[in-house]
A and B are shown apart, each in its own frame.
Chain A
Amino acid sequence: MKSKYFIIAALVLFGIVAMRFLVQTDEKKVRTQFSLLAEWVSKEPDESLVTTSHNIQHIATLFADPCAFKADIISFTGSYTPDEIAGFAGRGRFSVSYLTLKFYDLDIIFVQEGVAQATVTAKLTGKTKSGDILEATHELKTVLTKAEGKWRFSRVEVVEVLQK
């Protein structure tokens, strides 16, 4: 009798854990967009042309049209189309031999239906083709909007934590 209750409790627990992992919530979808951005911006030292082309094309799919950028530190402020953003990322990737983008401390708030505000720390490390070490860590404030069931970045701002 006791083992029967134990099995039921284990199944319920398993069900809860499985639901938690399998159900696609909006928060998970937003987190996925950050993971994809990190994956597609990053560049392996021996990246093939096919991968380069694939990554640059896919970067464009993550952004709304238009997307507002405020990144004075890299002179990229204004309103841009997804293709312009992908082009900018492509030029940046071309000038480096390898690049790694990682996100930390991602915090997401759903301010209204279909609009999410996310703050995150972005860490970019790499090496330019001329041999210079590339290292930048910044806080980003982003807004993602949901259209046709897909979350896209509609605003990206680099927070000036240290002001010269």
Chain B
Amino acid sequence: MVTRSRIRQFFFPSLTPWFLLRVALVTIGSYLFFGHICTPLRIEGYSMEPTYHNGGINFCWRLQYLFSEPQRGDIVLVRLAGSRVMLLKRVVAVEGEEVAFHNGKLVVDGTEINEPYVQYPCDWELSPRQVAQGNVYVVGDNRSEPLERHYFGQVSLERIVGGALW
């Protein structure tokens, strides 16, 4: 009888002031958390294959770079006109570093970088260029398409919204 009453109370709670306050707090808390701190996102496209698949679900953790800056290997979200549509990319070089691609391999400051997350064949050739102050160099993990068709390059740190939660 007590269990039945509890179930009924759970699904059809009495509209007491305390209950309404709890509902308001949960609503505001959810809005702040999922709207501004840990925003849900759906991945569209194939530029981060095989790390992230088209149609996958993730979260953007916006506090990730509150006290630090993105490092090589980090996966970041880059804002465009707003944050409804963002670019998901991997940081391959940070400010002051010289980045290039030779025979499809990433070369930073003249050293070839091992990238286990790049699993598709790549034959990119890109002459060395320096990453400007306040910028990072971002590329997708799927480099199987021609260099001209892949959207990558250096981006201002101001446009980095956060990192992927997993």
Residue in B45, B80, B151, B152 whose beta carbon sits within 8 Å of that of A105 in the complex: B80
A145-164 interface code vs B (CB 8 A; 1 in, 0 out) = 00000000000000111111
Q: What's the nearest-Cβ distance from chain A to residue B102, in Å? A: 15
Residue in A105, A133, A136, A163 whose beta carbon sits within 8 Å of that of B84 in the complex: A105
Contact A161 B80 (CB under 8 A): yes
Alpha-carbon separation in the docked complex, A107 to B126 (Å): 35
Contact B45 A135 (CB under 8 A): yes
Closest to A103 in B: B81
How many B residues have CB within 8 A of the partner chain?
Answer: 20
Complex interface residues of chain A between 102 and 138 (CB less than 8 A to chain B): 104-107, 119-121, 123, 133, 135-138
Q: What's the nearest-Cβ distance from chain B to residue A12, in Å? A: 26
Contact A161 B87 (CB under 8 A): yes
Contact A161 B85 (CB under 8 A): no
Contact A138 B82 (CB under 8 A): no
A104-B85, A161-B159 in contact; A139/B153 too (CB < 8 A)?
A: no
Check A140 for interface membership: any CB of B closer than 8 A.
yes
Scoring A137, A159, A164 by chain B CB atoms within 10 A of each residue's CB, the highest score goes to: A164
Contact A119 B154 (CB under 8 A): no
Contact B85 A137 (CB under 8 A): yes
Check B75 for interface membership: any CB of A closer than 8 A.
no
Alpha-carbon separation in the docked complex, A107 to B82 (Å): 9
Q: What's the nearest-Cβ distance from chain A to residue B61, in Å? A: 20
Contact B126 A164 (CB under 8 A): yes
Contacts of A123 in B (CB 8 A): 85
A135-B45, A137-B87 in contact; A163/B154 too (CB < 8 A)?
A: yes
Alpha-carbon separation in the docked complex, A152 to B87 (Å): 29
Alpha-carbon separation in the docked complex, A162 to B159 (Å): 10
Contact A162 B87 (CB under 8 A): yes
Contact B80 A137 (CB under 8 A): yes
Contact A161 B78 (CB under 8 A): yes
Q: What's the nearest-Cβ distance from chain A to residue B93, in Å? A: 13
Spell out B's residues near A (CB within 8 Å).
45-46, 78, 80-85, 87, 89, 126, 129, 138, 151-155, 159
14 intermolecular pairs with C-beta atoms under 8 Å apart: A104-B85, A105-B80, A121-B82, A121-B84, A123-B85, A133-B46, A135-B45, A136-B151, A137-B151, A139-B80, A161-B78, A161-B80, A162-B153, A164-B154
Query: Beyond A105-B83, A139-B80, A161-B87: 10 further Cβ-contacts under 8 Å?
Result: A104-B84, A105-B81, A105-B82, A119-B81, A133-B46, A159-B80, A162-B152, A163-B153, A164-B152, A164-B154
